[in-house]
A and B are shown apart, each in its own frame.
Chain A
Amino acid sequence: ADSGNDGGGNGDASAPITLGTTDKVTSLDPAGSYDNGSFMVMNQIYPFLLNSEPGSPDPSMSLAESAEFTTPTEYTVKLKSGLKWANGHDLDSKDVKFTFDRQLKIADPNGPSSLLGNVESIEAPDATTVVFKLKVANDQTFPQVLTSPVGPIVDDEVFSADKVMDDQEIVEAKAFGGQYVIDSYNKNNLISFSANESYQGVLGPAANDKAAIKYYADANNLKLEVQEGKIDVAWRSLTPTDIEDLGKDENLVVHKGPGGELRYIVFNFDSMPYGAKTDDADEAKSLAVRQAAAHLVDREAIAKNVYKDTYTPAYSYVPQGFTGAIEPLKDLYGTDGKPDATKAKKVLEDAGVETPVKLALQYNPDHYGPNSGDEYALVEKQLEADGLFVVDLKSTEWVTYQKQRVSDYPAYQLGWFPDYSDADNYLSPFFAKDNFLSNNYDNPEVDKLISEQRGMTDAAERTKAIEELQTMVAEDLSTLPLLQGAQVAIAGKDVKDVDKTLDASFKFRLGVLSK
């Protein structure tokens, strides 16, 4: 197999693009994985009904010719006609129905089927029509769901209806319908792609004929290889030091885009100081403690010192760049986004809280990157700086962390990466009743507004509701947002259009890159 690697050839579209990453693939089967690494590859090889064009987070028609609510609980998608899979099979509504039925049936523990929680059933009345019957009416997030990890459409003649497929089987059956097909697949080591002639989606034909993804376990090696020009683009999880260093390299360009990742401290309303289940339970005092903490944290310092600005300060529950995102915490706490010890002291005094407040804080060292330790060491310092808090900082490994966080930790670190690019994905999982945080936060007004906004068909009205929600939660401080992640890709100078794909859809599209 002679890839077009014979040097020279600059400027011609067939120069292969190599992407290096540390994000591993769990499974190529959309039913079997729910993580960034797998989804990144799926984005290259599977078609979506709706997908976001480079540069925009909003869904546009891809396989779909049209998609809309035909009744409040029926979302009807019309497919383009004459669609084909790379292996020559027809791509029609049967494939679509099969795809989603299969997700629901398999419901693999590692899979994203939970995103289809609102789907009652799927019907395919004819070859180009698919009707999604929904449980909740007018779900404005549903189009986004179709672009999410649960959205890749698979070939019903290849995939099994009730079992997660082996990657190799998928590759051998050429069951691809995205911009690319996989030529050779060496799991979590090397994947090589070539453009899919039969792709008719919104992304258009790939800007290069061939591409490859090389996997690294250690970001440091990734960094060295991009520096040496062995790969063209390095994507994600470089350490701040690496990024800074690579920025100095004149052959490389650091590309930054908005990030959907949010990092915050979660408070458990039962067990935090003065929490509902503590001996000296007092709602007002407990609120004061959270507020004082909000007054004291210096996000800019963390972003700059620990992350060298690869993260930005977050003053909101919805990351900047999303429709409806505002920064309520900037106004409510500290002064101009800076910490303010006097305010913190006052709020504690007013509530009659004895200082210093003892706070047990947990973070996780192995899931959110190696800098978590540094980050929380700094948070500890900031909280303790003025003698208002005494922090008992501990770390726990991910598996135990996940089991214990709900029951055992009064306050702890958590990060969130969205399933799809809608502000709702930052609100309902956290602040609706019985959310996955299980931190005993319960504000009926918030709960009500959350379920209402999902059904608001008027975009402006919905944006307002989202803004209002952010302010309400900022007052309650169920969680304390600290940082928002940026997307960083390092590419050789000769690589074009990297910035195009670094948008708020958080989808890395190999197809836009070229040399």
Chain B
Amino acid sequence: MSTATLPTSNKSWLDRLPVISHLRMSSGLQRGMLIAGLTLSGLFIITALFAPLIAPFDFAQSSDASGDFPRQAAPDSKFIWGTTATGYDVFSRTLFGAQTAIWVILAAVVMSLFLGVLLGLVSGYLGGWFDRIAVVLSDAIYAFPSLLLAIVMSIVISQGQSSLFGGVMAAAISITVVFIPQYFRVVRAEVMRLKAEPFVESAQVIGASPWRVMFAHLLRNATRTLPLIFTLNATEALLTLAGLGFLGFGIEPTSASEWGYDLNRAMSDATSGIWWTGLFPGLAIVLTVMGLTLVGESMNDLNDPRLRRFSRKKAKRITQSGQVGASK
């Protein structure tokens, strides 16, 4: 895309927020998908925020006043999604899993966003040997299977420690390292494109310093597509976290609840006919990733005029109702 779609700023700030503005301009099936995505993502965020309130038990609780919890009990009225081999309540663990996931996603994406954007900006604008090295490095990392890199990173970072913060940070940092090249590439490419745009050149001919050009002019323009990458990366972060957990490089069950780890532990349950320990964390991953992906994809479609779509029906309806003359 070479023409920027400009924000229509005579609308209220609320309407200009990324997601809301997208919702307003969507229609038909596209709107349906966006709404489905928003609902799932909203559910995920609410669950994460209020897990301690909603969940009947703690994530690593295997007994209460009335005694030890049953093990691998099928869903019933007390344990609505059953219990695990350790006697943890699957429902509570699944809810708390959202909390862990969101921490990791936020930490990872925010860190990689910050570093990736900064590096991309400087590297793309200033060029030179720094740029060349950064590009080769990021290309190499980008090309390498991200999960493997995350595993190596998680070993390096955590040195095997398991505390909640340590575990979450280790996972987050491993994912960060993997993602930096993505932001770097996007921002750098955008900066390279914008560098040739007349408005940047007009700042240059005025004599603005490189820093001024980068931060006053390029930053906002180059980060236009980031909300989209943000959601897409959030899904990737979640999947990477689950992959780490599944392979046993993640967070321990007593420090936090993590879906991938629970799924791993549920493998043998599932083949023994105990379906509930694996199904719910698995579904949680699937639905969350779907929700975020739907939001991301819809935003992508709506951002790109080539992909944005108005139904002919709607056009017909409007012409026929004659409301056209009224609108400005």
- In their complex, do chains A and B touch, with some C-beta pair under 8 Å? yes
Is A374 touching B86 in the complex (CB atoms < 8 A)?
Answer: yes
* A residues near B273, Cβ cutoff 8 Å: 245
CB-CB contacts below 8 Å: A227-283 with B: 239-242, 244-245
Is B161 touching A377 in the complex (CB atoms < 8 A)?
Answer: no
* A residues near B271, Cβ cutoff 8 Å: 220, 223-224, 242, 245
Select one of B160, B163, B268 contacting A241, CB under 8 A.
Answer: B268
Task: Tell me how far the C-beta of B63 lies from the nearest C-beta in chain A, rounded to whole angstroms.
Answer: 7
Distance in angstroms between the alpha carbons of A469 and B162 in the assembled complex: 37
Distance in angstroms between the alpha carbons of A378 and B269 in the assembled complex: 20
* B residues near A381, Cβ cutoff 8 Å: 62-63
Is A365 touching B72 in the complex (CB atoms < 8 A)?
Answer: no
Task: Tell me how far the C-beta of A3 lies from the nearest C-beta in chain B, rounded to whole angstroms.
Answer: 28
Select one of B62, B159, B268 contacting A220, CB under 8 A.
Answer: B268
Chain B residue nearest to A374 in the complex (CB): B86
Select one of B86, B159, B254 contacting A306, CB under 8 A.
Answer: B86
* B residues near A380, Cβ cutoff 8 Å: 254
Contact-residue bracket for chain A: 20 to 34
Chain B residue nearest to A241 in the complex (CB): B268
* B residues near A398, Cβ cutoff 8 Å: 160
- A394 interfacial contact with B, CB 8 Å: yes
Interface size, chain B (Cβ < 8 Å): 30
Distance in angstroms between the alpha carbons of A510 and B274 in the assembled complex: 33
* A residues near B62, Cβ cutoff 8 Å: 377-378, 381
Is A396 touching B161 in the complex (CB atoms < 8 A)?
Answer: yes
Distance in angstroms between the alpha carbons of A381 and B267 in the assembled complex: 26
Distance in angstroms between the alpha carbons of A371 and B62 in the assembled complex: 15
- B68 interfacial contact with A, CB 8 Å: yes
Task: Tell me how far the C-beta of A395 lies from the nearest C-beta in chain B, rounded to whole angstroms.
Answer: 4
Is B252 touching A373 in the complex (CB atoms < 8 A)?
Answer: yes
Is B272 touching A241 in the complex (CB atoms < 8 A)?
Answer: yes
- B71 interfacial contact with A, CB 8 Å: yes
Task: Tell me how far the C-beta of A221 lies from the nearest C-beta in chain B, rounded to whole angstroms.
Answer: 9
CB-CB contacts below 8 Å: A385-422 with B: 393-401
Is A366 touching B274 in the complex (CB atoms < 8 A)?
Answer: no
Distance in angstroms between the alpha carbons of A245 and B275 in the assembled complex: 13
- A114 interfacial contact with B, CB 8 Å: no
Select one of A241, A242, A365 contacting B252, CB under 8 A.
Answer: A365
- A91 interfacial contact with B, CB 8 Å: no
- A219 interfacial contact with B, CB 8 Å: yes
- A370 interfacial contact with B, CB 8 Å: yes
Distance in angstroms between the alpha carbons of A277 and B25 in the assembled complex: 69
Is A240 touching B161 in the complex (CB atoms < 8 A)?
Answer: no
Distance in angstroms between the alpha carbons of A306 and B84 in the assembled complex: 11
- A81 interfacial contact with B, CB 8 Å: no
Task: Tell me how far the C-beta of B268 lies from the nearest C-beta in chain A, rounded to whole angstroms.
Answer: 5
CB-CB contacts below 8 Å: B254-305 with A: 254-255, 264-265, 267-269, 271-274
Is B162 touching A396 in the complex (CB atoms < 8 A)?
Answer: yes
Interface string of B177-197 (1 = CB under 8 A from A): 000000000000000000000
- B87 interfacial contact with A, CB 8 Å: yes
- A218 interfacial contact with B, CB 8 Å: yes
Distance in angstroms between the alpha carbons of A242 and B267 in the assembled complex: 10
Is B159 touching A397 in the complex (CB atoms < 8 A)?
Answer: yes
Distance in angstroms between the alpha carbons of A305 and B265 in the assembled complex: 16
Task: Tell me how far the C-beta of A187 lies from the nearest C-beta in chain B, rounded to whole angstroms.
Answer: 22
Is A245 touching B248 in the complex (CB atoms < 8 A)?
Answer: no
CB-CB contacts below 8 Å: B56-100 with A: 60, 62-63, 68, 71-72, 85-87
In the complex with contacts A305-B87, A374-B86, A395-B252, A241-B269 CB distance below 8 A: yes
Select one of A218, A240, A399 contacting B160, CB under 8 A.
Answer: A399
Distance in angstroms between the alpha carbons of A378 and B252 in the assembled complex: 14
Select one of B60, B158, B160, B252 contacting A401, CB under 8 A.
Answer: B160
- B52 interfacial contact with A, CB 8 Å: no
Is B85 touching A374 in the complex (CB atoms < 8 A)?
Answer: yes
* B residues near A371, Cβ cutoff 8 Å: 85
* B residues near A378, Cβ cutoff 8 Å: 62, 86
Interface string of A269-299 (1 = CB under 8 A from B): 0000000000000000000000000000000
In the complex with contacts A223-B271, A393-B254, A370-B265 CB distance below 8 A: yes
* B residues near A245, Cβ cutoff 8 Å: 271-273
Chain A residue nearest to B60 in the complex (CB): A377
CB-CB contacts below 8 Å: A350-397 with B: 365-366, 370-371, 373-374, 376-378, 380-381, 393-397
* B residues near A373, Cβ cutoff 8 Å: 86, 252-254
Is B71 touching A365 in the complex (CB atoms < 8 A)?
Answer: no
Is B160 touching A397 in the complex (CB atoms < 8 A)?
Answer: yes
Task: Tell me how far the C-beta of B45 lies from the nearest C-beta in chain A, rounded to whole angstroms.
Answer: 28
Distance in angstroms between the alpha carbons of A305 and B85 in the assembled complex: 8
Is A365 touching B248 in the complex (CB atoms < 8 A)?
Answer: yes
Is A305 touching B254 in the complex (CB atoms < 8 A)?
Answer: no
Interface hub of B71, B159, B248, B272 (most chain A Cβ within 10 A):
B272
Is B162 touching A394 in the complex (CB atoms < 8 A)?
Answer: yes
Is B63 touching A400 in the complex (CB atoms < 8 A)?
Answer: no
Chain B residue nearest to A375 in the complex (CB): B86
* A residues near B86, Cβ cutoff 8 Å: 306, 373-374, 377-378
Is B85 touching A240 in the complex (CB atoms < 8 A)?
Answer: yes
* B residues near A223, Cβ cutoff 8 Å: 268, 271
Interface hub of B63, B159, B160, B271 (most chain A Cβ within 10 A):
B160
Task: Tell me how far the C-beta of B100 lies from the nearest C-beta in chain A, rounded to whole angstroms.
Answer: 15
Distance in angstroms between the alpha carbons of A380 and B62 in the assembled complex: 11
Chain B residue nearest to A244 in the complex (CB): B272
* B residues near A244, Cβ cutoff 8 Å: 272
Task: Tell me how far the C-beta of A500 lies from the nearest C-beta in chain B, rounded to whole angstroms.
Answer: 28
Is B68 touching A242 in the complex (CB atoms < 8 A)?
Answer: no
Interface string of A300-312 (1 = CB under 8 A from B): 0100011000000
Interface hub of A301, A305, A306, A393 (most chain B Cβ within 10 A):
A305
Task: Tell me how far the C-beta of B266 lies from the nearest C-beta in chain A, rounded to whole angstroms.
Answer: 10
Chain B residue nearest to A306 in the complex (CB): B86
Is B161 touching A394 in the complex (CB atoms < 8 A)?
Answer: yes
Interface hub of B71, B85, B159 (most chain A Cβ within 10 A):
B85
Is B68 touching A305 in the complex (CB atoms < 8 A)?
Answer: yes
CB-CB contacts below 8 Å: B226-254 with A: 248, 252-254
Is B248 touching A366 in the complex (CB atoms < 8 A)?
Answer: yes
Distance in angstroms between the alpha carbons of A245 and B273 in the assembled complex: 9
Task: Tell me how far the C-beta of B235 lies from the nearest C-beta in chain A, rounded to whole angstroms.
Answer: 26
Distance in angstroms between the alpha carbons of A245 and B272 in the assembled complex: 6
Task: Tell me how far the C-beta of B261 lies from the nearest C-beta in chain A, rounded to whole angstroms.
Answer: 9
Distance in angstroms between the alpha carbons of A396 and B271 in the assembled complex: 29
Task: Tell me how far the C-beta of A168 lies from the nearest C-beta in chain B, rounded to whole angstroms.
Answer: 28
Question: Closest 9 CB pairs between A and B?
Answer: A397-B160, A245-B272, A400-B160, A374-B86, A395-B162, A396-B160, A220-B268, A395-B252, A400-B159
Interface pairs (17), CB distance under 8 Å: A218-B267, A224-B271, A239-B85, A240-B85, A305-B87, A371-B85, A373-B253, A374-B253, A377-B62, A377-B253, A393-B254, A395-B254, A396-B161, A396-B162, A397-B158, A397-B161, A398-B160
**Given A301-B68, A381-B63, 8 additional A-B pairs, CB 8 A:** A239-B85, A240-B85, A306-B86, A370-B264, A374-B85, A377-B86, A397-B160, A400-B159
